[in-house]
Amino acid sequence: MKINAYLNFDGSCRDAMTFYAEVLGGKLSSLLSFEEGGAGEHVPPEFKQAVMHACLEVGDQIIMASDAPPGMYEKAQGTSVCLHPDSIADTERIFAALATDGKQIMPLAETSWAERYGIVTDRFGTPWMLNFTGKYGA
């Protein structure tokens, strides 16, 4: 079994997923608008080019996302996407990129369980936890 995050956006899905692909080194394998997906008639005309479904592949993991139809978007609460980068350098690079125009909730630092751990909400409103355990193991 695999478990994947599915993110919702208020019209910024295309920009967010393109940004995540750049920051995480992934590939957008799907970026389908409501119109392309055959659902254009169910949304207002100005929303037809919004993203109905996006899929970002990062290694053997995926993050999926879409723009919530008008009036249906709710800001993420009580959840975070947790990343486990492969090195301190990657952790610091990714954290800095996500924090740009976002908000650091917990600055990146060594903890009792990780060489680097931090929490950030990016400019699109997605909360992230970055956890590089390193010498502390899994």
Residue 7: Cβ-neighbour burial (10 angstroms; 0-12, 13-18, 19+):
buried
Q: pLDDT of 10-63, one tens digit each?
A: 999 999 999 999 999 999 999 999 989 888 888 888 889 999 999 999 999 999
CB atoms inside a 10 Å sphere around CB 14: 18
Distance CA 73, CA 114 (A): 34
> What CATH number does the domain located at 81-136 have?
3.30.720.110
Which residue intervals of the chain bear CATH 3.30.720.110? 81-136
Percent of the chain with pLDDT over 70: 99
pTM, two decimal places: 0.93
Q: Give CA torsion, residues 18, 16, 66, 91, to 10 deg.
A: 90
Residues 90-131 pLDDT 10s:
999 999 999 999 999 999 999 999 999 999 999 999 999 999
Q: Given the DSSP bridges, would you call strands 127-132 and 116-121 parallel, antiparallel or unpaired?
A: antiparallel
**pLDDT at residue 41 in the model:** 85
Phi, psi of 92 (to 5 degrees): -65, -40
Token digits of residue 94: 């990714």
Superfamily for domain range 5-67? 2,3-Dihydroxybiphenyl 1,2-Dioxygenase, domain 1 (3.10.180.10)
The CATH 3.10.180.10 portion of the chain extends over: 5-67
Residue 21 has a pLDDT of: 98
Write the DSSP symbol of residue 55.
E
Give the model's confidence band at 83: pLDDT under 50 very low, under 70 low, under 90 confident, else very high. very high
Do 64 and 28 meet the contact criterion of CB atoms below 8 Å apart?
no
